[in-house]
Structure 1
Amino acid sequence: MVAFNKFFTSVFLAIVYASSSRAAPSLIDSKHTTHRTREIAGGVTLETFHPVSNYETFGEGVDHPLRKRAGVSFKESSVAFLQSKLGLKAENVAFHSGYAGDVVTHAYLKQTHGNIVFANAVANVAINKDDKVVALGHSFVTPSSIAPSTASVSFEDAVSTAEDALDGTYNGHPADIKYFVKEDNSAVLVHAFQVQNEATGTWYLAYVDAHANKLVSVTDFVAKASYRVLPITKELLTQGFETVVDPADLEASPKGWHWTGTKDSTTTTGNNVITYKGSQTTGVTTESGSDLVFNFVQDATKAPTTAVNLNAARVNNFYLLNSLHDIAYRYGFTEAAFNFQKDNFGNGGEEGDRVTASIQDSAGTNNADFSTPPDGQSGHMRMYLFTSTSPQRDGTLENDIPSHEYTHGISNRLTGGGTGECLQSTEAGGMGEGWSDAFAEWTEQTSATIKDYVMGQYVTNDSAGIRTHPYSTSKTTNPLTYASAGTLNEVHNIGEVWANMLHNVYAALVGVHGFSTTAHTDPTGTEGNVVFLHLFIDSLAIQPCTPTFLTARDAWIQADATRYDGANKCTLWKAFASRGLGVNAKNHKDDATVPSGC
C-alpha cells in the first residue's frame, strides 16, 4: 500500500507497538519484531503474533551432513542441515518449497508435529554452488503444550466464526489443519482458510482454534507492441507521454505481453497481467488501431473517468506492470521463484496467477494497494482516484505508485518461499513498504547522478510528495536512522527509514561502480545499479521469514558474499552504518561501526 502520511491515514493501516524481543522495551517498540495489531472489522482489533526469527549467515559457506554423498537433492540437504543445526528429529521438519537460482539454491521448510505443519514456525536454508550452506533463518519453537491433533470444532463452524469476525466470506481456496504457536508458547490446532470481501478489498488467511472456535490470528494478504505511455523511467505526467514500440523483453516474456495461454489478445490482457475497470471480461482496453496499437492521448483538463483518460490509464498500467515483470524476471523473480504468470511455460512454480489490476477501483480513493496470496493465486492490484485536485487525478498515471504496489508482490513472494505470509510483523511490514519505494526509485534512475527522490508528487500536486522526507544521502534533508524505527508505530513511517537506507546503499554502489543505461534488460553488467538490484532480489530470497532491519542487512551482506565474493562488503557496511545500522546496532539503537579492514 502507498499510504499518504501528509494528509490522511488510510483505513487499511494497522496501528502497532513494536520492538526487538531482546530489547529493553520503549513505550513504542516493545513488540516491534514479533507482533502487529490489526483493525479487522467493526472497529475490532486483533493482535497477531510471530515467533522470534533467528538468522545466521556463513560467508563462503559451511558443510551440511549430506555434502559428500552423491545424488542428494537440495531438499534432502536442507532438511538434514536444519535437523543437525537445531537438533531436530526427521518427523519435525517438512520441506515446503524451493528453487535453484543462478548462484543460490533456496529451500523453505516448516516445523511439524504428527505430520501437521506449524503455520508460524518456518525456516529457510540457502545453499551455494559449492553445495555449502550460506544462510539459515528459522522461527522454530519448543511449545510448552500442543493441542490434540483431531479437531473438535467442525470446519463449517470455524468458517462461520471467521466470516463474522472478518466481515468476509470463505473463498473456497483449499483449507488446512495446522498448528499455530501463540504468544504464551502453547501450540493450538487451527483451521486455516481464506476469507475475502471483494467490496471492501480485504483478503485474509484466517486461523481459527479447532477446539475453542476462536479466531487466533490472520495473515493479511493486502499490503494495504505499440503503446502511448509514460515510460517506466519517468515518474510524472509532466515529463511527457511517449510511444514505445515492442517493449516486451522476450527473455522474460517469451510469447510477448498479450499471450493468454492459448492465443494473443488485442486488449490489455496477457500472461503477466490483466488491467481493467470493473469487469475483467468487458472492462479492458482494446487496441486503438491494428497490430496492437494502443494510442490514447490523455487530456489532463478532463476528469480521469472520461473514456480517453480511462483508456490511457489502463494502457499505462498494462505497460508498466509488464515492464516490472520483465525487469524483476531478469534479476531472479522467475516462475520457479514464485512470480506472477498465467502460463509458466514449464519452468516451475505454480501458474494461473497473473496480476489482476483494477483501475479507478470504486472501493476507495486517495490510495492504492496490492494483495499477495500464495504462489498459484493471482496477485491483485487496486488503483484509486485522488481527490485533492480538480479535476481529480488517477494514481495509475504516476508510475511510482503502481511500481510501489507491484513490489509488494515481489517482496512478499520471495520472502519465505511463495507463501505471502512472512512480512506480517510491524517491522517486517514496514520494511515491505521500504522495499516498494526503493524499487520504484530504481526504475526511474537514468544516470549516475544521485538526486533526492520524492514519492507521489503528481497525485497530490505537491512537490514535497507523500513521504515525510525526500530520500537523500544528506542527513540534513533526511535525518532518519535505524533508531528512528524504534520510535515509530506505523508501517509506512518505518518503511521510510528502510527505503532511505537503501537509497544510501544505491548511491554508494553507483558511486563505486558507475551506472548502466541498459540495466532494465541486461543484468550481466558490473555497474552499481545492476549490482544493487541483484542484491535487492537475492537478499529477499535468503532472508528469514519475519525479517528485521538487522537480519535484512545481514542478508544483503551475505548476498554480496555469494554473488560477488564479498567485493562490495565494505561499501555496503559503510552505507548501512552511515544510517545507524553498523556492526553493533541492536534494539533500535544506532551504531556506526564497520568491520575491521573497512
Structure 2
Amino acid sequence: MLSAQSLFPSQRHNMTLLTKLASIALLIASGVIAAPWSHQSRVSSTTHHTRALGPHNIKIRSFHPSSTFEFNKTYGVTGVDHPLSKRALKASSSEAAKSFLESKTEIHPSEITHRTSHSSENISNEFFNQEINGIKVANAVANVALKENRVISYGANFVKPKNIASATPIFQQEKAIENAEFVTGAKYNSYPVELQYIITDSGDAVLTYTIEVQNDDTFELYHVHVDASDGEVVSVVDFVSSATAYRVTPFTSQDLSDTGFSLITDPFDELASPNGWHRYGTTNTTDTSGNNVRAYVAGNAGYETTVQSSSTNIYNYVRDPTLSVYQGTNPDAARVNVFYIANMMHDLTYRYGFTEKTWNFQQDNRGLGGAENDRMEIRVQGNSIGIITVPADGRPAMMELGIWSQGDGAFQNDVTIHEYTHGIVGRLTGGGTAKCFQTTEAFGLNEGWADALPNLIQRTSAEDRDFLYAKWANGKNLRTYPYSTNKTTHPRMYGDSGTNSDTLAIAELWAVIWHEITVALMKEHGFASNLFDPTLTNGNTMTLHLIIDGLIAQPCNPTFIDARNAVIQADANRYNGANKCTLWKAFAKRGLGYGATTTKINSEILPPEC
C-alpha cells in the first residue's frame, strides 16, 4: 500500500504519479468482512475480490475472510439451547442470541451490539455488530436464528485482532475525503463521515474514516475506509451490482416478443400496496412515481416521468417499432412498462417476506417498521444496459436500464427482474446493510440469484424447459449456456469453479442449481399458476420461499457451501425438512453434494438418510 503523502491530491496531475499507478498491481489490501477468529492471507474467490476503480483504473483487492455458519446439520431441526435457557433465565430473542454469540465467539458482551431483528412466523432473526473501544467494527457481523427460543442457526465473523489502533484519529478528515475521491473518481456526497474499525488481512484493527462517495452519471456508490492515522485507503465497499391501467408486457412474459402488450387493470396487490402504486403518505401521483417505484428518463428538467394518458391513472401508451426508441410515445411506453414490472416485484416478494420489517423499498412504510424514503429509482434509456446500486435500508436503490442492440431494455422484463433481485439479495442478507456481497464468490452468487428469479417468475407451467436470459434485447442468450437440467446443454459443475475469479461462471453455476431445484420441486409438488399465494405448497411457491428464507439465514459474504446450507436450513424451518433429500439431490447433481467443501472438488454424495 502507498502512503497518502506519495499518492494523493497534491500530486493528482503529476505524470510520475500516473506512471507509478499504472505499475501497481495492488493498491489496497482490505477487509470488509473480518476473520472468524484468525486471519487468512491466501488469495481466493471466497475471501477476496479485485476490482478496478476511478479514472486511473486503480486495482483494489478487498479481503473478506469466510464466516462461520452452523445450521441444522449441527443443531438438528429443533435447534439447541442457548446459555440463558440453561440457567432458566427468561430472555428476549436478542438477549438469547447475544448470549449464544458470547459462548461461541468468546467475545466480551460489551463488544457485541444488537443492530436489528426480524421475526417471521415462528422464526426470529437477530443481527449484531462487534465493537472495539466503543467503536463499530465495520466488517465484523453476526446473525442468529431462533425457533421457539432455541438456536437453529448462526453465522459470525467476529474477530480478535492482533493489534488495535488508537481510537483517536490523527489524519485530517477533509484530506481523507480528498483521498477517497481520488481513488474512486467519485465525489463525497455529504453523508455523515463515521469513525469505524476495519480488520485488514494482516489481522489488525485499523481506525478509519468511513466516507461515502458517489458518481451520479455512472450510478457508482462506495464506502471508502481511509486510515485515520495516515490517510491511506484500506478498504472500499461497492454497492453497485449491475383502478389504474397500464399498457405493458405482462409480468410473466420474458419480453415483448412473448405475448406483446396488454392493458392491465389494477394489478397492485392489496396486502403489499393497500393504497395502490400511486400514493405515499398524503401524496397522490398521476405519473410513473409512487410509494414503491419511480421510473423516469433523465432529462434537462431532471426526473422526467410519464404522466397519465387519461384520468385517473390510465397509462395507455403504444410502442411504435417504426420509430426510434427516443421518438413519439416510445419513452412513455418504456417508463410505464418498467414502473409496472418493478411494482409487481415489490408486491410479489412482499408476499414472501420482503416487507418493511425486512428492509424493502418504500417511501412510506405505514408505521410497519424499517426505514422509509427508499423507493426504487429507475432510470430508463440510460447509459448502461442494466445496473443497480443498492445502499442500506432507508436510502433509495438506483437502477438504470439502457438501450440494447435489438431495442429498449425496458421491455426485457427478465432484466428488470434481475436488477430488482439484486436489491432483494442485498437487503435481506446481513440485516439491511447491503454490504454482504463483497467477495468474488459472494458477488457471483448474487448474480446467480438475480438470474434465478426471472427464470422462476416467468414460468407458466411445470414443464422442464430451458431458460435463455435477455434473448430479445440481446438478440441471443446473454449467458454462456441456456439454463437447463440437461448437463450437456449446461455443463457447469461445482468442481470446475476452483479458485475461479470469473463472477459470471460462479453466477451461472448458482443459477443453474436453482434451475435444478425449481424443476425438482415442481415434479414433486406441481405448479402454482398463482405465484402471489404464498400459502400454496407447489414447487414454484416453495422455491421462492426457500430463496427468500435462505437469504435471511445465511451469513455475510456467503460461499457456495454457506448458501447451500442456508437453503437446507430454510426448508427445515418452513417445511420441517420435507424437501431435504430433493434439495440435496439437486445440489449433488451439480457437484455441491454432502461432501463438498470450499476446496471446490465435485461431490455427488447424499446424506446417509437420503
Could you tell me how far apart the structure 1 residues matched to 2:376 and 2:586 are?
34
SS at match of 1:85: helix
From 453, 465, 482, the counterpart of 2:494: 482
Residue 225 of structure 2 aligns with which residue?
Answer: 207
With over 3 angstroms needed to count, the CA separation of the structure-2 counterparts of 1:203 and 1:282, relative to structure 1, is: closer
Kept in 1, the 8 Å contact 2:171–2:230? The answer is: yes
Residue 5 of structure 1 aligns with which residue?
Answer: none
Specify the code of the residue in structure 2 equivalent to 1:83.
E
Residue 249 of structure 2 aligns with which residue?
Answer: 230
Residue 78 of structure 2 aligns with which residue?
Answer: 60
Residue 392 of structure 2 aligns with which residue?
Answer: 374
From 429, 436, 439, the counterpart of 1:425: 439
- 5+ unaligned residues in a row in structure 2: which ranges? 1-25, 36-41
Aligned counterparts, 1:297-316, within 5 A: 297-316=318-337
Kept in 2, the 8 Å contact 1:576–1:582? The answer is: yes
Kept in 2, the 8 Å contact 1:91–1:114? The answer is: no
1:466 and 2:450 are equivalent in the alignment: no
Kept in 2, the 8 Å contact 1:103–1:563? The answer is: no
Aligned counterparts, 1:338-377, within 5 A: 338-361=359-382, 364-365=383-384, 367-377=385-395
Residue 265 of structure 1 aligns with which residue?
Answer: 285
Kept in 1, the 8 Å contact 2:180–2:211? The answer is: no
With over 3 angstroms needed to count, the CA separation of the structure-2 counterparts of 1:109 and 1:583, relative to structure 1, is: same
1:124 and 2:143 are equivalent in the alignment: yes
From 508, 531, 542, the counterpart of 1:531: 542
Could you tell me how far apart the structure 2 residues matched to 1:542 and 1:153 are?
39
Could you tell me how far apart the structure 1 residues matched to 2:85 and 2:363 are?
37
Q: What is the Cα deviation at residue 562 of structure 1?
A: 0.7
Name which structure has the greater RCO, CA cutoff 8 Å, separation 6+: 1
With over 3 angstroms needed to count, the CA separation of the structure-2 counterparts of 1:70 and 1:246, relative to structure 1, is: farther
Aligned counterparts, 1:147-162, within 5 A: 147-162=165-180
Residue 7 of structure 1 aligns with which residue?
Answer: none
Could you tell me how far apart the structure 2 residues matched to 1:259 and 1:485 are?
47
Could you tell me how far apart the structure 2 residues matched to 1:152 and 1:525 are?
59
Specify the code of the residue in structure 1 equivalent to 2:296.
Y
Residue 6 of structure 1 aligns with which residue?
Answer: none
From 276, 285, 293, the counterpart of 2:296: 276
Residue 3 of structure 1 aligns with which residue?
Answer: none
- 5+ unaligned residues in a row in structure 1: which ranges? 1-13, 23-28
Q: What is the Cα deviation at residue 63 of structure 1?
A: 1.0
Residue 104 of structure 1 aligns with which residue?
Answer: 123
Q: What is the Cα deviation at residue 32 of structure 1?
A: 1.1
Could you tell me how far apart the structure 2 residues matched to 1:35 and 1:302 are?
47
Query: What is the percent sequence identity of the aligned residues?
Result: 42
1:506 and 2:524 are equivalent in the alignment: no
SS at match of 1:62: coil
Specify the code of the residue in structure 2 equivalent to 1:422.
C
Q: What is the Cα deviation at residue 38 of structure 1?
A: 1.1
Measured against aligned partners, the alpha-carbon deviations of 1:448-473 in whole angstroms (never above 9, x if no partner) come to 112100001111222xx100000010
Q: How many residues are matched? A: 564
Kept in 2, the 8 Å contact 1:539–1:555? The answer is: yes
1:576 and 2:579 are equivalent in the alignment: no
Residue 437 of structure 1 aligns with which residue?
Answer: 451
Kept in 2, the 8 Å contact 1:484–1:497? The answer is: no
Kept in 2, the 8 Å contact 1:51–1:120? The answer is: no
Q: What is the Cα deviation at residue 301 of structure 1?
A: 2.4
| Residues 270-279 or 166-175, more deviating | 166-175
Could you tell me how far apart the structure 2 residues matched to 1:400 and 1:60 are?
38
Residue 241 of structure 1 aligns with which residue?
Answer: 261
Could you tell me how far apart the structure 2 residues matched to 1:51 and 1:588 are?
17
Residue 597 of structure 1 aligns with which residue?
Answer: 609
Kept in 1, the 8 Å contact 2:66–2:559? The answer is: no
Q: What is the Cα deviation at residue 307 of structure 1?
A: 3.2
Residue 40 of structure 1 aligns with which residue?
Answer: 53
Residue 81 of structure 1 aligns with which residue?
Answer: 100
Q: What is the Cα deviation at residue 493 of structure 1?
A: 2.3
Specify the code of the residue in structure 2 equivalent to 1:36.
H
TM-score by length of structure 1 reads 0.92
SS at match of 2:257: helix
Specify the code of the residue in structure 1 equivalent to 2:577.
G
SS at match of 1:60: coil
Specify the code of the residue in structure 1 equivalent to 2:470.
G
Residue 548 of structure 1 aligns with which residue?
Answer: 559
Specify the code of the residue in structure 1 equivalent to 2:471.
Q
Q: What is the Cα deviation at residue 189 of structure 1?
A: 0.4
Could you tell me how far apart the structure 2 residues matched to 1:369 and 1:551 are?
26
Q: What is the Cα deviation at residue 281 of structure 1?
A: 5.8
